């Protein structure tokens, strides 16, 4: 598939796909006319890269982690292993913070609902 189709199937912009390739996060074949060509497996790769970016990982971290994704049984360096653990811990901390924020919002919403019901009951 061409870059435009990959972009459409993944929600990534063509510009992002070119960036991923520049950073070593994605690779493509070339048509005889020099156009980038991608495979169906590249859709999953782009979706994973997008999720990792959305989770706050840098392209440098992602490029170091992708070999572990490509070949989970391959030996990873001690440094890469610790990077995996740090990123997981960072995500867990972020999830916990988001959960606390949601709980705070739930409390505010509940208080607002109680106020609305109280004022509606006193007005009626």
Is the domain of 7 the same as that of 29? yes
Indicate whether 55 and 97 sit together in one domain: no
Q: Tell whether the model's pLDDT for residue 15 goes beyond 80.
A: yes
Q: How far apart are CA 39 and CA 44, in angstroms?
A: 10
Total number of domains constituting the chain: 2
My answer on whether 66 and 81 are in the same domain is: no
Specify the 3-state DSSP secondary structure of 39: coil
* DSSP 3-state of 30: strand
Look at residue 32 and tell me whether its pLDDT is greater than 90: yes
Quote the CA–CA distance of 5 and 2 in Å, as a whole number: 6
Asked whether residue 121 carries a pLDDT value surpassing 90, the answer given is: no
**Cβ-based neighbour number of residue 38 at 10 Å:** 23
Q: Please report the pLDDT score of residue 8 as a whole number.
A: 97
Domain containing 94: what range?
75-124
> What's the pLDDT score for residue 17?
97
Are residues 102 and 55 located together in one domain of the fold? no
Do 51 and 104 belong to one domain?
A: no
pLDDT of residue 79: 79
pTM given for the model: 0.74
Asked whether residue 69 falls in the same domain as residue 115, the answer is: no
Q: Are residues 81 and 97 in the same domain?
A: yes
Q: What is the pLDDT of residues 47-100, one digit of tens each?
A: 999 999 998 899 998 998 888 887 776 567 777 888 889 989 999 999 999 999
Residues 105 and 67 in one domain: no
Q: How confident is the model over 33-47, as pLDDT tens digits? A: 999 999 999 999 999
Q: Which of 93, 61, 57, 54 is nearest to 79 (CA)?
A: 61
Q: What average pLDDT score do residues 1-15 get?
A: 97
Kindly report, residue by residue over 16-31, the tens digit of the pLDDT. Answer: 999 999 999 999 999 9
Q: What is the pLDDT of residue 81?
A: 81
Q: Kindly state the helix (H) or strand (E) to which residue 62 belongs, with its residue range.
A: helix 59-70
Same domain? 102 vs 46: no
């Amino acid at each position: 598939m061409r870059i435009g189709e990959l972009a459409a199937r993944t929600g990534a912009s063509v510009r992002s796909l070119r960036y991923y390739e520049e950073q070593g996060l994605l690779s493509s074949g070339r048509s005889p006319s020099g156009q980038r060509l991608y495979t169906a497996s590249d859709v999953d790769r782009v979706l994973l890269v997008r999720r990792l970016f959305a989770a706050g990982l840098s392209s440098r971290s992602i490029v170091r982690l992708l070999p572990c994704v490509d070949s989970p049984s391959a030996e990873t360096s001690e440094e890469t292993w610790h990077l995996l653990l740090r990123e997981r811990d960072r995500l867990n901390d972020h999830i916990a913070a988001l959960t606390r924020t949601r709980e705070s919002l739930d409390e505010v919403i509940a208080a607002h609902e109680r106020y609305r019901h109280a004022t509606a009951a006193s007005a009626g």
